[in-house]
Amino acid sequence: MESKDVLIYDTTLRDGEQGEFISFSLEDKVRIAQRLDDFGVDYIEGGWPGSNPKAMGFFERMKGHTFNHAKLSAFGSTRRKNITAAEDTQLLTLIEAGTPVVAIFGKSWDLHVREALRVSEEENVAMIRDSVAFLKSHGREVVYDAEHFFDGYKANPAYALETIKAAADAGADFIVLCDTNGGTMPTEIPAIMAEVKKAVKSPLGIHAHNDAGMAVANSFIAVAEGAVQVQGVMNGYGERCGNADLIQIIPNVEIKQNKRMLAPGKLKELTSVSHFVAEIANIPPDPRQPYVGQTVFAHKGGIHVSAVRRNPHTYEHIGPEEVGNVRRVLVSELSGQSNVYSKAEELGIDLTKAGEEAKNVVRTMKDLEADGYQFEGAEASFELLIKKALGHHRTFFQLKSFRAITYGQTTGSWTAEAIVRLNVNGEDRHTVADGDGPVNALDRALRKALEHDYPLVKRVHLTDFKVRVLDARSGTAAKVRVLIESSDGERTWTTVGVSENIIEASWRALVDSIDYQLLKAEEEAAATAKA
């Protein structure tokens, strides 16, 4: 391993998988391990050998794999009571896993010694000492996790320190202080760690859980107090409230403490690594996750955007590019002219010279949002609004009429039929289509009417459909906002429609969706011809 100030010990594949709703397949674990190695993680904890067939399968698979950077670690516990370490089948299984590193946990809290293990305090200390010494005698790097250390220290400082002294004296390479119940406060960390450093000279680590929402803060403070290994999970997955989130800890330590945890340039991969793990875990990325979330560098208030346009540091503590994220400007009823200008810049449109047209865009947008539209999540509709105001958009088709009918059948199933009449390039188009529901039928009928003149619409399909009632107190007369996400296989875009009639709102969003695709195709064709 190259020289670093703080080492990353990742336990996504073990502690992370203990989180509710998360279950990695063997192939998932292999893919995550490879990505973490490429990212620059120092230790990858693969699981508890012998706990289940999948864990054993992973270690068998990894025996033939060479990591470029990381060391693979197997996890287990100290020996059972009243036997020797060499007789303990669980410790023997850890050796058989063939990993260069083994992490074992032992009890630091006298409450657990009495109630969970039901052994004497002396026997617990012997279990720790014997287990570490046994693993060291087999040439393993040993990480000793002092389970419940902070609770144990607060209950009985002398005994908690005695347990970690036993591990250190037996040769443990790291003593990791665990806040297993997740209730320790950051203000408690410095004084406790000061006493730990007096008692043992081994390198220290921190393993924090998030039950009080302090896992990242506790890890950060522990590093400031001398911890040189941080244990955590990508995206903070884990049992109960989760483990310390390495996605937050790494940039905090690197940027705020100026301590190296990754190779130069690797911090820019933070967002992609977070999303990679989330995708495999089948957990939607948290849009507000610090550093990597979609909304982290999103600016909405007009005053904020105006300042950020002049100097991003006015409302950003780091630049989004440092962690592989991007800056976004949102447009809404809170927007000022700066928001619209910045958003237009993102779309490749220069409004600074547009004069009155630009002011009209702002006024039109505010009027539409007052009527229930929302452009934050419908950027395709917003782009169309700007281009129509600037005269950069032509009419691809005109609606003459549409009708949607839903049929109930005696079998209990329902179907829908849509009839659409359009004028397309001077020609009348009259089409009928069936669908699973009225919106699906309208979508099919609209594209059917346009396919002759615009074959590209065959590639468009709806990927998401959301409806929100804007004023529930109005009952069935309430306005609804419909957001439609569409894709042509290469790009994805979102459009919006609002009306008291859900079918009309859906139609408006559908028309914007097709309009947007045709406009982008025309612009791209013109750019290609010009080149």
CATH number of the domain that 449 lies in? 3.30.160.270
Mean pLDDT of the chain: 89
What's the mean pLDDT in 458-477?
76
From 263, 287, 318, give the residue that closes a domain: 263
- Could you give the CA distance from residue 23 to residue 239 in angstroms, rounded to a whole number? 12
**474, pLDDT greater than 60:** no
Strands 398-408 and 229-232: unpaired
Are 63 and 139 part of one and the same domain? Answer: yes
**85, pLDDT greater than 90:** yes
Are 364 and 484 part of one and the same domain? Answer: no
pLDDT (tens digit per residue) in 144-166: 999 999 999 999 999 999 999 99
Residue 26 maps to a domain: yes
Are 366 and 403 part of one and the same domain? Answer: no
Are 424 and 459 part of one and the same domain? Answer: yes
Q: Which residue has the higher pLDDT, 211 or 479?
A: 211
- Coil, strand or helix at 328: strand
The model's confidence at residue 406, banded by pLDDT at 50, 70 and 90, is confident
Which range marks the domain in which residue 226 is found? 7-263
Are 308 and 204 part of one and the same domain? Answer: no
**336, pLDDT greater than 70:** no
Q: Token match 């390198």: residue?
A: 203
Helix 337-346 and helix 379-389, axial crossing angle in degrees, nearest 10: 100
Are 246 and 306 part of one and the same domain? Answer: no
Are 362 and 505 part of one and the same domain? Answer: no
- Coil, strand or helix at 491: coil
Position 371 scores a pLDDT of 79
Are 360 and 413 part of one and the same domain? Answer: no
Are 371 and 402 part of one and the same domain? Answer: no
Are 68 and 123 part of one and the same domain? Answer: yes
The percentage of residues in the chain with a pLDDT greater than 70, rounded to a whole number, is 92
- The residue among 73, 78, 137 whose CA lies nearest residue 107 is 78
Radius of gyration for the alpha carbons in the chain, expressed in angstroms and rounded: 30
pLDDT (tens digit per residue) in 340-392: 676 677 667 777 666 677 777 777 777 777 777 777 667 888 888 888 877 77
Contacts 24+ apart (CB under 8 A), 358-361: 360/389, 361/385, 361/386, 361/389, 361/390
Residue 180 maps to a domain: yes
Contact 108, 124 (CB under 8 A): no
- Could you give the CA distance from residue 161 to residue 128 in angstroms, rounded to a whole number? 13
Position 367 scores a pLDDT of 79
Helices (H), 138-188: 149-155, 157-169
Position 309 scores a pLDDT of 76
Position 391 scores a pLDDT of 79
- Could you give the CA distance from residue 177 to residue 408 in angstroms, rounded to a whole number? 64
The model's confidence at residue 296, banded by pLDDT at 50, 70 and 90, is confident
Are 323 and 467 part of one and the same domain? Answer: no
**E strands in 331-460:** 398-408, 414-424, 427-435
Q: Of 80-94, 170-184, 475-489, 490-504, which gets the smallest average pLDDT?
A: 475-489
From 342, 375, 408, give the residue that closes a domain: 375
- Residues in the chain, how many? 531
Residue 269 maps to a domain: no
Distances (CA, A) of 499 to 156, 380, 397: 66, 19, 21
Are 79 and 219 part of one and the same domain? Answer: yes
Element holding 395 (H helix, E strand): none
The model's confidence at residue 308, banded by pLDDT at 50, 70 and 90, is confident
Contact 283, 17 (CB under 8 A): no
What's the mean pLDDT in 94-111?
96
What's the mean pLDDT in 515-526?
89
- Could you give the CA distance from residue 12 to residue 22 in angstroms, rounded to a whole number? 10
pLDDT (tens digit per residue) in 494-511: 898 999 888 999 999 999
- The residue among 253, 269, 249, 160 whose CA lies nearest residue 208 is 249
Position 332 scores a pLDDT of 55
CATH of the domain at 182: 3.20.20.70
Residue 278 maps to a domain: no
What's the mean pLDDT in 166-177?
98
Residue 27 maps to a domain: yes
**428, pLDDT greater than 70:** yes
Element holding 32 (H helix, E strand): helix 26-39
Contact 42, 70 (CB under 8 A): yes
Position 525 scores a pLDDT of 86
Domain count, the chain: 3
Q: Token match 């229930």: residue?
A: 372
- Coil, strand or helix at 209: strand
